[in-house]
Structure formats: structure tokens, C-alpha cells
Structure 1
């Protein structure tokens, strides 16, 4: 006897879509703070001229489902017929017994046969041939609008490349930025800032204007270290039990991806090696890695296997791979990547580190990870590469993060320690002085009072700025850019 009967499927659909009966979302579904990705996705969903389906890709618990509910709430507020809005989560075990066409046929037969439909699909990678069905919907149902989510973006990106060109786009949903964290946790000391204040204009401010800005940002510093510990996962950030939050992070975000998502999606027979690779990367976060070295460390696991696993972990939103950027016009022959765990809290949870806030080395790794994550998330929409610089030959010199902006390079060096010194022969100083293609340079510091222009006669001024202030201003800038683009 089949359990995936139309009656059973219909019951599931009604449970997923309470607005069909009540004309609104339950209060517990509604979250007042909207992620940056919400505005980007809504703009594409409702664009009057360019029709695109939207896929939200991000790690577990970053708030993708909440974004779907917020978009549904917006449609209801616009007066869209409730029966024309359908939400389906493919995490439900019963839905694994039927394909997408069967579910949609039951919906159209029993709920709404309308040509106009807003379809929201959660965890779409768990349904077979999802990309082919989206292609069919796009080509045969011109009045349909679709938003989907997925935690395993390797499959999503592959599907978008093969079937979705010109039909849908993938929007990355990173973990919360520090700015979003302050908003979602209702930090009381949030300052009112001019919309034109961005990290890139700091060097143009008068001394008294910079002092005033840093004075108003200073109260946020006390929230920054907790942000590093619990990470950018909304539900965990709102928890009052930080130890429990880390346990949930380890079990739900990491274990399920390593032991279930990636192995099932890529037919990995031995997930133990995958776990070992990820553990190795956690120990070596913020370092340049060598695949041959990893292979030897892991009992001579084939290099091609290591390379594939790095790709899977990156696309599963667990790591970032940062590649070198040239500052001297020389071609980079060996592009060895620098590794970052996707969120500082993930690394803390996996390694179960104690007292990281009192360990200068560990704290430096967490802050550099946060800096890279924020810059990578900020510039990905513009398709701008974010990498690092390393000068070889003689004394090796490195710049932690380099933004390869079309208008010129942005250099960022993390010095998150007490009394961090910068010498005139440091790479960020010499490159700011000599390179005509550098437009801004930042030294990321620890203390709230450690800010201002460096006393070097560089062509490009070098700005010292505390980590919490830099990240908050970056989020402030991103918010205002998105609001302007969407006319909010």
C-alpha cells in the first residue's frame, strides 16, 4: 500500500501552508530583522522585466528558511492570493517517495489551478532532478515565480550551470555579519550613522570626525568577542547558553553535512577521510595549504581525493578557499590556496577549544577568518575576487587579504594583538607606497583606541582601524547599498 497518496501529500501541504486557511503567517514564523540576502532575493523575485528563479545557498542554520517566510509575508502584505503561494520542504521524509511533478499536480488539482504561482522550495537538493523540473517550470509556466534553498551548493551550482543559465541564479547566504548580529540580538548601543560612511571614506575624514565616529562605535566592542564564539547563526546567536549553542553547531551544522549531505550527494563511501580532511583544515585555518602535504598527513590519501574533498567542503559552505592575487604584474604559477573555515565559531566548536579569547594566536585566527568572510561576502555579488598576496624570493612577505577591485586593489592586514607594530618594510607598507593600482590599505587592530592614519609617506594612506569597527562599517555599507538598489 502506497503511503505517498494524494490525501497524505495534501495534508502535508496544508500543514506547510497555514496561510491557506488563516490568510497570514503564524507569529512564530515572522522574524523582524531581514538578512541582506532577503532584499537581493526579493528584488529578483519581483523584478518587472528580468524573470529569474532564485536559489538561496548557505550552510545549515544560517536562516534560509526564515528568508523564505519573510518573502511570503511580503507577498501576503502585497495582497497576493494566499492559494497562489505554496511552500514545500523536501526535508519531509514522505516527500522523498514522490517527485516534484506529482506534488505540483496535487497542488494544482486541489488548491489552485491559477497560471500565476509563487513557489517556495526548501532544501531542494533532496528531490530528484530538481534542476530539470525548474527548467520545465520556467519554460512552460511563464507566470510562475520560484525561490528555492539548498545547503549543499555543489549540486546547486552544477544544476545552475547545466540547466539554469538565463533561468535562475544562486544567491549565497553567508553566516551573519557582525552588523547583522548586532541587529538581530538587539544590541542597545547601535549608533546612528550617515549612510555615506564606509571604510573607504575613513581616510578622507577630518581628525575630529574620525574620533567622533570611533567614539560612537566603541560600545560595540564588548559584543564582538561573543560574536566570534557563537558565530553568525541566527538561532544560536539568540541563545542564552553559549556552550549548548556550540554543541548544536557541531552536531547539526557540521556532522550532518560531513556525515550525511556530502556523502549522499557525491557517493562518498568512506566519510571518515572527509572528516579527517576537515579536521586538518580546522587545525590549519588561515594558513596556505599544500595538497601533497595533506595527502602525506592522511596516510597517503590520493591527492585527487583531497582536491575533490576541498571542492565539496567549499561548495557545502564549510570552508573558504582564498587564492593569491598578484600585486607586481608577475604571473602566479603555483596557486596554492589559503584556507578559512566558513565561520570562526565552526572551528571553535569542532576543535572544542577552551579559553580562545585569552589565547592571542587563536584569537588572531578567528579575527582573520571573520575579516576574510566579511570581505568575500561583501564582494561576491560584484564578482570581485578576494584573495591574498605573498611575495616570494628572499624574505617572504604576505598581505592577509587583497580585494582585486576593478578600480584598484584594497589591502588588508590583520594585527589583532596588543601593541601591534607595522614596519616600513612590511608588505602592506611597501605595496601601498610603490603600487599605483592600490586604492586603500587597512591595518586591522584590537583596541578601540587603536585607529588613525599610519605615519608613512605612502602614496596610499594606511588606515589603522579596530576589527569590530571595520566589520560593522562594512555591514553598514552593504545594507545601504542593498537598500538603494532595491529602492527601500
Structure 2
């Protein structure tokens, strides 16, 4: 006689939820009691307070930046605001018991068991919602089925663009350089050197710059993530978990090969054709894998503009940066030492600073025409006018020959760049001209700190 196969039922789900929701029994959630709030929490909490049930608030971002902690902190904030404890439910879909749970049925079950009438709000905090296939559609069904439901979720993957009608997506970036310093107990204003009033080249190094550069190199190698496992853990959980298979990745090994290539060459220009040829992967498959790496917030593509700062109608080439330069050290297991690699990682660190605001994310491009390249061009979102441009050269010796930054010189000649043309250096910090064109030489560490501070306020 065949053995009866049993499956977990609603009673099992409820028992697990009782453990994950200690406040139902009047017990404080000690997991987040002593953890500091990230600066982004205010933005997240404001979205939750304004939630009227028409959209789910979904916090997305790379692994290891503190999304789950922030979700639990939001639960604590809600309970502190005298929301009835039985009206607040936390569930993690990463738990094996909940992998196959019928999510749209959960609110009805909770209302029945917890005695919550249909005309009272029910708060559902869903951790790791992307562990369910078609999670965006399931959230839409949740909202339709229960108009008084308030959904707040965390996703390791960015939601699809066509889901934004019922999802308010908030991006939690890796630590900016400024936030990294704060996490280490260092006030950014205490380590930001005074701007020297120098109009031409000088070999003098301002007080405090060597110490700031040491901190910047530590940030480049290890400073973007909240978890103890840091960058290595972020890579592992995005590539080696069930997530790739759940979202259509048929060959995890090819996905890994693509990521390794992009990580090792962060900041380089690619095309789908060159990547497909290099890795011997079909172009359509490669596009899908690249989209997954972007949606998992491991890499970010920069779009290209020409010498006139105009996008190409048929975009073939693009730059790929790691979402944070520390992912390279997490992958390789060693810190970058040579100036060429540190230059590329410093460039990647600069783009990471812009992730602290939607204005920064949407306005950053690179320019390439012929053999010339300007690594960063920031465009006004309304007019398309370039506002400033950067070129990075991480080294101590003087930059005096125009050919080294000829692309930036030419670009500055063609555009007013009201906020300036910058050569990002290791230690040079002065004004001046190259080829008769005004330039500003500034340490990359200083600019990274300023960008993170300024854009975090937007």
C-alpha cells in the first residue's frame, strides 16, 4: 500500500507566522532594536505613510545593503505608531515553507484567523517577494482582492516596467562614500579637506587628503554593503541561489561567466555582439542574462552620447559598471593595487555615488566619438544639455599634456558645461587650463564624497 504524501497546510503556515511575528503576542522585535537606520529610511517611511492601498511599496536594491533590516524597522515604526499589532504581518518568501504559498489567499486567511474585519487596514510586509514567479502579477491580485490591504515588500530584483501601475518602486543603493564613513563613525565633514585656492598646477597636497584617499581605497574595495558577508555574499546570493532559475536563466554557468567578465572589466565599453562572440552565447540569450544582472542590481549599463551630447538612434555600444566597485574584490578575493585598475574602480565608485537619487541615475551618460571618450557626462533631464563632465586619472604626477584628456578638452570646447569639466586625480587639486580650455583638477575621493552628500538630499 502506497504511503500517503502530506503537504504543509494553512495551520503550518500560521504556526510559522506566529514565530516570525512576535508582536502578535506582545513581544518586541529585538532583531532591529539596536541597528541604526540608513539615511534612506525617511524616504521609505514617507512612502509607507502615504500608502492608500492603490499601489504596493516595493523596496528593491542589491543584496546585502540592508533591505530586510529596513523592512523590519518599518514594522517597528508602524507598531510604535499604535497600529493594532494583529493588523501587521511579516512574511519571508525565502523561507522554504512559503515558497509555494498561494500569496493572494493570505490576506483572507489572516483576516479570518486574526479577527480583522474587511473594513480595517491589514498591513502585509513581504520579504524576498521575488522568490515567487510572476511576483508582480501576484501583488496586483493581492491589491484587487483586498482594497484595505497595504502591501510593503522587499525584492532582490527590480520590478518589470509594465508593473509600475500597481507598484511604487524605491531603490536602496549601496552605501555612498559619505554613508560608508558615517557607518564607520566618521563624520564626512571632519575628513573633507578645505578646497585650496590655487589657479594652476601645484604638487602640494592639502592637509588630510592622504587620509581621505586611504579611506576611499578602503571604500572602493569593501565599503558598499551592510551585511557581514559584504560583496562576496551579495554575488553569491544573486547568482547561486534559486533566483536565476525562477526568472528564466537556463544556464547559471553562462550567467556566471558573463558576470565575471563584466566585473573584471568594470567601466569598459561593450556591445551585445562582442560579448556574445567572446562568451560563445547566442545574442538573445546574452541580452536576457544581461537584463537579469541589471535587474539583480549587480551591474548597470550607461548609455552613450556623441560629441554633441545626443543619444544614438540605434544604440549598439554601452558601458557596463558594477553597481559598486567592491564587488570586484568580493569576486576575486584581493584588493586592487595597480593604478590602472584603481582608476577604473574609482570611475565605478563615482557612478555609485549618483545612485543615491533618481536624478543621478537618469542623467548620467558617457560620450564617445571616433577614438575619443569622456567617461561621464551629466545631462539636464529636461533640455538634454550637458551640465558637467568627468575624466578620471588616478595618479600622483602632473597631468599637463592635452592628449591625455583630449576628449574632455574637445567636449568642453563644444559645450558650455556650466558646472564644469573635471579631471579626477589622486592628489592634484587646482584650477587651470589645458589647450586654453578651463579645467578643474580635483581628487576623486573629494568629488565622490561631495556627490554622495549632495545627491542624497534630492
TM class by shorter chain equals 0.7 to 0.9
How far did residue 337 of structure 1 move?
0.8
SS, match of residue 268 in structure 2: coil
Q: Structure 1 residues 312 and 191 mapped into 2: Cα distance closer, same or farther (>3 Å)?
A: same
Q: Structure 1 residues 295 and 139 mapped into 2: Cα distance closer, same or farther (>3 Å)?
A: closer
Residue number in structure 1 paired with 2:93: 90
- Post-superposition Cα deviations, 1:202-243, rounded to whole Å, max 9, x if no partner, equal 9xx8939xxxxx75777543322221221311123xxxxxxx
TM-score (norm 2): 0.86
Q: Structure 1 residues 49 and 266 mapped into 2: Cα distance closer, same or farther (>3 Å)?
A: closer
**What do you get for the CA RMSD once the two structures are aligned?**
3.0
Q: Which protein has the bigger helix share? A: 1
8 Å contact from structure 1 (residues 44, 52) kept in 2: no
Count of residue pairs brought into register by the alignment? 438
Match of 2:394 among 396, 416, 437: 416
1:473 maps onto 2:450 in alignment: yes
Q: How does 1:364-379 map to 2 (within 5 A)?
A: 364-375=343-354, 377-379=355-357
8 Å contact from structure 2 (residues 54, 143) kept in 1: no
4+ residue runs over 6 A deviation: none
Q: How does 1:431-470 map to 2 (within 5 A)?
A: 431-436=411-416, 439-447=419-427, 450-455=428-433, 462-470=439-447
8 Å contact from structure 1 (residues 45, 53) kept in 2: no
1:339 maps onto 2:320 in alignment: yes
How far did residue 93 of structure 1 move?
0.4
8 Å contact from structure 1 (residues 412, 441) kept in 2: yes
Q: Which runs of 5+ in 2 are unaligned?
A: 199-205
Residue number in structure 1 paired with 2:175: 176
Residue number in structure 2 paired with 1:307: 287
Q: Which runs of 5+ in 1 are unaligned?
A: 209-213, 237-244, 482-488
Task: Report the Cα distance in structure 2 between the residues aligned to 1:360 and 1:445, rounded to whole angstroms.
Answer: 11
Task: Report the Cα distance in structure 2 between the residues aligned to 1:175 and 1:163, rounded to whole angstroms.
Answer: 24
Q: Structure 1 residues 330 and 124 mapped into 2: Cα distance closer, same or farther (>3 Å)?
A: closer
Q: Structure 1 residues 185 and 192 mapped into 2: Cα distance closer, same or farther (>3 Å)?
A: closer
8 Å contact from structure 1 (residues 35, 67) kept in 2: no
Residue number in structure 1 paired with 2:20: 16
How far did residue 49 of structure 1 move?
7.6
Residue number in structure 1 paired with 2:203: none
Residue number in structure 2 paired with 1:133: 138
TM-score (norm 1): 0.81
Q: How does 1:39-118 map to 2 (within 5 A)?
A: 39-47=42-50, 52-114=55-117, 115-118=120-123
Q: Structure 1 residues 456 and 12 mapped into 2: Cα distance closer, same or farther (>3 Å)?
A: same
SS, match of residue 337 in structure 1: strand
Task: Report the Cα distance in structure 2 between the residues aligned to 1:475 and 1:267, rounded to whole angstroms.
Answer: 35
1:349 maps onto 2:330 in alignment: yes
